[in-house]
Amino acid sequence: MSASMSQFLSKSLAACLLMAGGQVLAAPPKAYRQEVVVAGSHFQGVHGLAVDGKGHLLASNLLGRTVHSVDLGTGAVSTVVGPPLGGADDVALGPDGSIYWTGFFTGELMKRTPDGKTRVIARDLPGLNSLAFRRDGRFYVTQLGRGDALWEVDPSGKKPPRLAISKPGFLNGFEFGPDDKLYGPILLKGQIARVDVDTGSIETVAEGFAMPVAVNFDARRENLYVVDSARGELVRVRLPTGAKEVVAKLPTGLDNLAVGPDDLVYVSNMVDNDIRVVNPADGSVRLLVESRLAVPSGLAVAPDDPQEQLYVADVYALRRVGGRDGKITQTTRVLSSRLNFPMNVSLGAKHVVLSTAYLGEHSSVQVLDRATGELLRTIPNANGVQAALELADGTLLLAESTTGRLVRVDTSEPAGTTVLAEGLEGPVGLAADTEAEEPGVYVTEVRSGKVTRVRLSDGARRTVAKGLKAPEGIARHPDGGLIVAEVGRKRLVRIEPTTGRLTVLASGLRIGLPESVGMPPGYIPTGVAVGGSGTIYLTSDIESALYRFVPVP
């Protein structure tokens, strides 16, 4: 055979067509080019703040499990405490210069001394949220959501916590006033209260807020600044009258604040993952730390969308992002809407399906109208639902990561549930295979390291691939291949569904935050989606970024 004929046959063989799902499709590409769709951030939703008096702002990062330091002049961010120890919902400085922070999911109160030693000083307080010191050095923390109590804690950790007040009504970000009374928002009542921690008495200082989440005194400690998360307002409350004045209008999703010695107010926003500086003298606002995404996790794209518009479950928001230009065109925010902290997203013909695996009151599956964004249905489920898919008849498939079940939810109200399969080990990702002769669904099992196919007619299972390390997000390629985020090995892989053959597409990826106590298997899932062009999209929870992998011809 001549060399030219051999080359011709080799090229013809490389371009030959494969059979997948009953369709004749082109051979998969051998290489991809990695590109940034949305650049990342240091935070995964920024929360509590504290000015250190040395030109820096301490900022807590609950889901990223870190405590950061922000330069007040430049906005430069550095890490003070990294994961997994730094799971902070709020942060404070003690009289001796130690840093204290609260672990909402872990129920632990942490301390880092000036010499860099970190340890737990209180345990078993789920929902541990806000904290503050009184002038005499007494130290108080509050439980919120997973509890409702105010505790006095020994800053040294030698004595057990003492219950100060039971069920104050969800007391959030607070501070002690010059009268040694505690001032803070009572979430359940939309009020700002004055609390005597010695007697337990609670008085109303101001009311009429939608969702007050934190307060701080001004530098002279005469007035209170309040952030109203649902309205996006920074409000000044004049004491002792309780008169209110809106100082600045901000985006909704505000979480906390800190006031500097110059009376500048630093405000965190967990939805936008940023920190803004407000000058109360004129109401001007500027960004200190800017981000575009908060905690990008689940990801979906319509296969017939030529623009490849991405639906991003950003934990604190549902966002629409241009797959080609990275432009964010639509955002539905938590707190100011009925949205429940979306961690996964999938698309049906007419609906968007969201799920959140938070173990608590916010655990649910939500169905939205794809055209209007209207919330049509909320289905509570506290079993750590990771992925959720809508079938053609409107029924839903849910991956319950904590029970190891794949369940079917019908369209009735209230919803009826049927167990399709059980014994799965940490099911996280789902990818439909409903066009096959025997319709099924592919499931990633983060604990067993498997990709499993479950037949929809009877729940029969077949192992497609094993030996993976923490597989999470999964999507079908247009040619029928499975694209999987193998988080434990920091790589993106392709799996042939009929043979289980694995090909590594990209490695060394910044994906896979460490799991947290009190959260389900998979924690913050890494999302994967594939557009009609064959471009693969991937979320990075570590970087709060969005990437694409473009086929190289």
Tens digits of per-residue pLDDT, 173-208?
999 999 999 999 998 899 999 999 999 999 999 999
The CA distance from 529 to 548, in Å, is 9
Query: How high is the pLDDT of residue 414?
Result: 81
- At 29, the pLDDT band (50, 70, 90 cuts) reads low
Instruction: Determine which of 23-32, 75-84, 143-152 has the lowest per-residue pLDDT on average.
Output: 23-32
Q: What is the pTM of this model?
A: 0.91
Cβ atoms of 407 and 413 closer than 8 Å:
no
Q: Is the pLDDT of residue 20 over 80?
A: no
Q: Return all residues near 180 (Cβ < 8 A) that are at least 6 apart.
A: 134, 135, 136
- At 360, the pLDDT band (50, 70, 90 cuts) reads low
Q: Is the pLDDT of residue 514 over 90?
A: no
Residue 222 Ramachandran class (φ > 0 left, ψ -120 to 50 alpha, else beta):
alpha
Q: Is the pLDDT of residue 8 over 60?
A: no
Cβ atoms of 404 and 422 closer than 8 Å:
yes
CA angle 93, 94, 96 (to 5 degrees): 120
Span 480-508, mean pLDDT? 97
Q: Is the pLDDT of residue 24 over 70?
A: no
- At 270, the pLDDT band (50, 70, 90 cuts) reads very high
Query: How high is the pLDDT of residue 4?
Result: 40
Q: Does the N-terminal peptide bond of residue 240 adopt cis geometry, omega within 30 degrees of 0?
A: yes
Question: Strand 109-112's sheet: what is its strand order?
Answer: 91-93, 99-102, 109-112, 118-122
pLDDT > 90: percent of the chain: 83
Average pLDDT, the chain: 92
Query: How high is the pLDDT of residue 83?
Result: 87
Q: Is the pLDDT of residue 421 over 50?
A: yes
Tens digits of per-residue pLDDT, 427-457?
999 999 998 999 999 999 999 999 999 999 9
The CA distance from 456 to 112, in Å, is 52
Longest dimension (CA), the chain: 98
Tens digits of per-residue pLDDT, 274-333?
999 999 999 999 999 999 999 999 999 998 999 999 999 999 999 999 999 999 998 899
Domains and CATH numbers, the chain: 17-40+293-551 (2.120.10.30), 49-289 (2.130.10.10)
Query: How high is the pLDDT of residue 2?
Result: 40
The CA distance from 522 to 364, in Å, is 16
The residues with which 462 forms a beta bridge, in sequence order, are: 453
> Of the candidates 454, 349, 370, which has an alpha carbon nearest to the alpha carbon of residue 404?
454
Query: How high is the pLDDT of residue 158?
Result: 95
Q: Is the pLDDT of residue 18 over 80?
A: no
Structure tokens at 67: 């405590």
Cβ atoms of 354 and 83 closer than 8 Å:
no
Q: Is the pLDDT of residue 27 over 80?
A: no
- At 87, the pLDDT band (50, 70, 90 cuts) reads confident
Q: Is the pLDDT of residue 413 over 50?
A: yes
